[in-house]
Structure 1
């Protein structure tokens, strides 16, 4: 057989062998890839099933609390023609008010300055065309303190004495609770029981057995302030302020997911 023919046959056999080797090398990799592609879908389906399994209910707990502190904004508002007179009078009167508050048992930590403002009072000259430079005719100084009154029964007397000492601005009198933690715990326990009762009723109606708690989330609604809107009117008429504290409400909401046995 001629040498050229032998070389050609050998080259052909090598080409075929190389092609077959490549085919067998690639083919085994296809099966794992398909298996891996299917695995995440099954895993996601299992996770979704776990998340959606169970009974989800909400519960609410409420506790009514009688306020035990009062908060009042007490101030001095002075208007004079002289800036120095306005500041001196405001400072002197506020110092007297603070001393009176302390003498009535208000602790220094319960007296906090909330604002100190100074305003020039201007007058626009009357001209036919409305022009002209405003002139300063006086000054107004306002000094306000926020006072926490822990002996709530003394509120009327304290406000009256503050006015006698020089205060001429009292507003925003409100009532609150000093320590909310014990009442929040009571409301939380009531909310959990409410959720348990609802879940038990649902399980009984569906003829299934209630399982353990799987998840809980909570939302707490603190008490809003109870305002005494009649404080300014009563002081203007003279005499102590009548105190009606009323009640405030603490609310806790929970969402609970129970398993199913």
Structure 2
């Protein structure tokens, strides 16, 4: 007997059903969400790019403006609305000190012998300087050197001995004794004296006077320029000053060991100048 099957009877597939592609609902749903996610991501990246460009422009402008204010103290560029005026003030001054360098160059077969010769002469010099009224604080060692000395022959160099040199800078506050100090070279055996200069010890009081004269010159020039160019001076943008070291009377000397009375004649200090140069940048309109 035929066996009866439970459940629905199997239906034959139609040609139309066979021709339709299988439906994958899960995959179709994920594709839709992925498309939406990609669009959102692109939109966010675009917005972030616009924001980044804005921030770059904003901070770049801010930095530029700050630099501009720094360079011109909050005003427009100097080249556009400023003018530079310079002045110079000079004050003639009688020198109140003399400065010179004195030293000894000694040579011997050994370093010890050369040092002994050098030290003996320099100690005599220091003792005599103090006797002339030069204070210890006004005597300063400027160099102390030891060098080997060679003779050069066809066979090469041959060590001859050693040279020891020592120098001290001497500040002479009583300028009338400058020639006596120089004369010590011949007396004690110093063989290197150079650069006797008369100058001013305390320059500050004269710098103030030179500055005043320079600023008066600047003010006069500024008024003349204002009238000639038809401009108005509104204020000062910047101010600079330069203190020139005015040279007084200077004697170039090199003294060897000779009798003291033949070393130096009378020396006159002459005069010197304290010079101040100023430069003022004015805002104009």
The answer, yes or no, to whether TM exceeds 0.5 is: yes
In structure 1, runs of 5+ residues without a counterpart are 1-21
Task: Determine which of 252, 272, 276 is the counterpart of 1:248.
Answer: 272
Task: Determine which of 175, 182, 193 is the counterpart of 2:205.
Answer: 182
Give the aligned partner of residue 131 of structure 1. Answer: 155
Give the aligned partner of residue 90 of structure 2. Answer: 62
How far off is 1:95 after superposition? 0.8
For residues 157 and 185 of structure 2, the distance between their equivalents in structure 1, rounded to whole angstroms, comes to 40
Compared with structure 1, are the counterparts of its residues 252 and 131 closer, same or farther at alpha carbon in structure 2 (3 Å cutoff)?
A: same
Q: What TM-score does the superposition give when structure 1 sets the normalisation length? A: 0.70
Compared with structure 1, are the counterparts of its residues 94 and 197 closer, same or farther at alpha carbon in structure 2 (3 Å cutoff)?
A: same
1:215-236 deviations in Å (ceiling 9; x for gaps) = 3222222224642025638x77
1:167 aligns with 2:167: no
1:84 aligns with 2:107: no
Q: Please identify the structure whose Cα radius of gyration is greater.
A: 2
In structure 2, runs of 5+ residues without a counterpart are 1-42
For residues 144 and 230 of structure 1, the distance between their equivalents in structure 2, rounded to whole angstroms, comes to 14
Runs (4+) of structure 1 moved beyond 6 Å? 46-49
Compared with structure 1, are the counterparts of its residues 198 and 133 closer, same or farther at alpha carbon in structure 2 (3 Å cutoff)?
A: closer
How far off is 1:114 after superposition? 1.5
Q: For 1:50, what is the secondary structure of its paired residue?
A: coil
1:189-235 deviations in Å (ceiling 9; x for gaps) = 111111111111111223444434343222222224642025638x7
For residues 159 and 231 of structure 2, the distance between their equivalents in structure 1, rounded to whole angstroms, comes to 83
Deviates more, 1:140-149 or 1:92-101: 140-149
Aligned residue pairs total 226
How far off is 1:239 after superposition? 5.1
Structure showing greater relative contact order (alpha-carbon pairs closer than 8 Å, 6 or more residues apart): 1
1:154-181 deviations in Å (ceiling 9; x for gaps) = 1001221343123222112222211111
Give the aligned partner of residue 8 of structure 2. Answer: none
How far off is 1:99 after superposition? 0.8
1:47-84 deviations in Å (ceiling 9; x for gaps) = 79734335432222222223221111111222334543
Compared with structure 1, are the counterparts of its residues 82 and 62 closer, same or farther at alpha carbon in structure 2 (3 Å cutoff)?
A: same
1:206 aligns with 2:234: no
Task: Determine which of 61, 76, 95 is the counterpart of 1:50.
Answer: 76
Q: What TM-score does the superposition give when structure 2 sets the normalisation length? A: 0.65
Q: For 2:95, what is the secondary structure of its paired residue?
A: coil
How far off is 1:132 after superposition? 5.2
Contact 1:69 1:176 in 2 (8 A): yes
For residues 149 and 283 of structure 2, the distance between their equivalents in structure 1, rounded to whole angstroms, comes to 70
Compared with structure 1, are the counterparts of its residues 260 and 131 closer, same or farther at alpha carbon in structure 2 (3 Å cutoff)?
A: closer
Task: Determine which of 102, 114, 124 is the counterpart of 2:142.
Answer: 114
